[in-house]
Structure 1
Amino acid sequence: GPFLYQLYRHYRFAHAQIAGLYLGGVTAAVAAGWVAAPLTDAVGRKKSCVVFSFLYSFSCLVKLSRQYFALLGARVLGGLAAAVLFAALEAWYVEEHVGRHDFPADWLALTFSQAAFWNHFVAVAAGAAAEVGAQGLALGPVAPFLAAIPFLVASGCYAWKNWEENYGPKATWGRSCGDPLRCLLSDRRVFLLGAVQMLFESVVFVFIFLWTPLLQPHGAPLGIVFAAFMAASALGSSLYRLLVSASLLQPSHLLLLAVLLLFLAFLALLFATQPVQAFGAFLFVEFSCGLYFPAMGFLRRKIVPQKDRAGVTNWFHLPLNLLVWLVLLGWPPTHGASDMGSACALLALLALLVATGLFALIRRDAELRCPTDAAVSDL
């Protein structure tokens, strides 16, 4: 991930061309989200996870090509694979946990908490490994993508050999699209929560694309920077668990705090004059993500009915994708930090206003309070 932009620059593509490659992957993931859940439920969630591992492996392998449309195809393939993974993996686990083994549903929160911790830990290690391969061993920016392939293949083979297959209920278009639309239009809490998600995550998508061209010209070690980002996110996630388990704050408070920190981080970027200042602002962006995702996951599970959850997310992904397109395609070629800060700060300010309205609506709702023994929600 940290070397994606650098790889395309190494292949001598212009900024606008790189933006098109990035948007191809994002758009493919959003579009595939409409069919991924019912498709994986019908085909089988285990098979879908295996298919993901090999699709994404092929996407990484195509990074060796210098042909623009081959790279665009790889980005689209990667976006489709990611949509399959997000639809299948957690659904497979939940069905195994509750359906096949009849374990207590309350244990799910602990499982997802452990998964979140190890995801951050592995991401930090992966960032350091990417830096060693690309820069330390002078193998170039394509090296991390090739190094990822054996891990992807191994994970697919492990799932195929060791997992049991499970399936989901058959879904019609009305259930997967129409019912979620009615849900978000009829429940103000669902609408506001989805709007916060749309605005916050659109800023994060832009940030993922643009942090590299902002820091790389100053000689920043991209893999180490990425590892630091993941450590900051892990710190935010740990703080969420600590505050919730001690009943000091509730997920609704922490969601509002996360959006506020995101806004302040990009506001600070407006006044950054040194690379280290921009890096500090980006660390706060990742820290806010560590707070945001578990808080959003908890509230989404409580507010949005399970049968409509994926569909509601897909409906809000449409304007999210549009916002990312508008920001990246209209971006000035100078990549100025102040310009990036102004665009993202505006979106974050809108998210803060919506989050404040949501907080005022739900802050007295006892059903949205997290039990002291619930560590963290799904990410």
Structure 2
Amino acid sequence: MPSIRAVQHGSALDQVSVSSWTTFGGSFYHAMVFPLAICTLLLGWSALPSRSAEWPMGFGRFMVTYLSAWTLCVAADWLQGPYVYALYEAYGFSSHEIAQLFVAGFGSAMLCSCFVGGLADRFGRKKGCLAYCMLYILSCATKHWKNYWILMLGRITGGFATSLLFSCFECWMVSEHTCKHQFSSGLLSYMFGMKFTIMYLVAIVSGLVAQVGVDSIPFSPVDGSILYYGGNVVAFDMSAAVLVIAMVVISTVWDENYGTPLEEAAESEGESSLKEAWMALFTSSPLIGLCVIVACFEGSMYSFVFNWTPSLETAGETPPHGVVFALMMMACMPGAPGAS
């Protein structure tokens, strides 16, 4: 039988352990932030992109002009990412209904990607980037309503916005880099490396900041209505606020650029161009292989995006979604394609 002194000593150790655990934030995930952040900094530093060419005059300013707006816009995407499934679940929707909402977002992004490039080339890439901000603000606003169809509208507009985010911004940057400023291809590789490195760094910070915001205000309805505020909704409000700032930056700092001249674009984007694209898709073996590889990769990634939130939940504990997301992004950052 253990002595009373041993039992008391064990209880004291347990209290110290609990106190230390609470200091780190109250969960295993919070306790892992600091050690994993150290590892991420060390590995991320070794993966920073190397500059293989001298900076010509104006490149530093151009890089800041692009990356400042890109950082804000991608931060808006990362802020809300950890809380999409969690918010739908908090509203009481079933896993089947949540899956339908997710599929609507993925499907709208696929549909938009078929024509967003041509529209941006014709009407302006800067306008396309501003359209991303406006569509995503609308998507964030819909998250306040506990209504399936309003949330469905938000998923569709969010899908359109995601397609714009990963097309118009790069098109604008590459056009400005190669056509207007005529910087070297080596500096273009450096720009892409910095872009992906900053993207993961912003994702880490966004996850932690979103967690603080979500924990600061209780999740509650407005006077018993279907309109909600606080809790998981805070992450979407923060995202919308960042997008407003991004719109100001893009509007005041960026110049507009286009693809081909308007007359040539009208001809090149006609019915014959679509037929050629479909013919190439079904007759080119390398293109078919590429499509299969991309589809498998994206399919596995989207499956993970949908399942990671419910997979970590237990009957007695809801994980800190923002912190978990930040930890995953810490693991991703050292692999950012910058070391090349």
Taking the aligned partners of 1:226 and 1:136, their CA distance within structure 2 comes to: 18
How far off is 1:174 after superposition? 4.7
1:159-214 superposed Cα distances (whole Å, 9 cap, x missing partner):
11111101112132456533333334443222212211111111101110111011
1:109 counterpart residue number: 189
Aligned pair in 2 of structure 1 residues 194, 175: CA closer, same or farther (>3 Å)?
Answer: farther
User: Contact between 2:190 and 2:338, CA under 8 Å: does it hold in 1?
Assistant: no
- Alignment partner for residue 198 of structure 1, among 280, 291, 295? 295
Q: Does 1:181 align with 2:298?
A: no
User: Contact between 1:51 and 1:156, CA under 8 Å: does it hold in 2?
Assistant: no
How far off is 1:67 after superposition? 1.2
Taking the aligned partners of 1:161 and 1:228, their CA distance within structure 2 comes to: 35
2:115 counterpart residue number: 35
Percent identity, aligned pairs only, is 32
Q: 1:245-260 alignment to 2 at 5 Å?
A: none
Q: Does 1:140 align with 2:231?
A: yes
User: Contact between 2:82 and 2:325, CA under 8 Å: does it hold in 1?
Assistant: yes
Q: 1:88-167 alignment to 2 at 5 Å?
A: 88-135=168-215, 137-138=217-218, 139-167=230-258
Taking the aligned partners of 1:173 and 1:84, their CA distance within structure 2 comes to: 21
Amino acid at match of 1:135: D
Q: 1:215-364 alignment to 2 at 5 Å?
A: 215-217=312-314, 218-237=317-336, 241-242=338-339
1:36-64 superposed Cα distances (whole Å, 9 cap, x missing partner):
11111111110110111111011101110
**Runs of at least 5 residues in structure 1 that lack an aligned partner in the other structure:** 243-374
Taking the aligned partners of 1:121 and 1:178, their CA distance within structure 2 comes to: 42
2:102 counterpart residue number: 22
How far off is 1:126 after superposition? 0.5
Aligned pair in 2 of structure 1 residues 234, 177: CA closer, same or farther (>3 Å)?
Answer: farther
- Alignment partner for residue 51 of structure 1, among 118, 131, 145? 131
Larger RCO (alpha carbons 8 Å, 6+ apart): 2
User: Contact between 1:46 and 1:166, CA under 8 Å: does it hold in 2?
Assistant: yes
The root-mean-square deviation of aligned C-alpha atoms, in Å, is 1.7
Between structure 1 and structure 2, the one with the greater Rg is 2
How far off is 1:220 after superposition? 2.0
Taking the aligned partners of 1:49 and 1:109, their CA distance within structure 2 comes to: 22
Amino acid at match of 1:231: M
TM-score normalized by the length of structure 1: 0.61
User: Contact between 1:50 and 1:157, CA under 8 Å: does it hold in 2?
Assistant: no
Taking the aligned partners of 2:284 and 2:147, their CA distance within structure 1 comes to: 47
Taking the aligned partners of 2:132 and 2:273, their CA distance within structure 1 comes to: 22
1:74-103 superposed Cα distances (whole Å, 9 cap, x missing partner):
110111122223231111111100111111
Taking the aligned partners of 1:15 and 1:162, their CA distance within structure 2 comes to: 43
Taking the aligned partners of 1:184 and 1:16, their CA distance within structure 2 comes to: 33
SS of structure 1 residue aligned to 2:231:
coil
Taking the aligned partners of 1:176 and 1:34, their CA distance within structure 2 comes to: 13
1:11 counterpart residue number: 91
TM-score normalized by the length of structure 2: 0.67
**Runs of at least 5 residues in structure 2 that lack an aligned partner in the other structure:** 1-80, 219-229
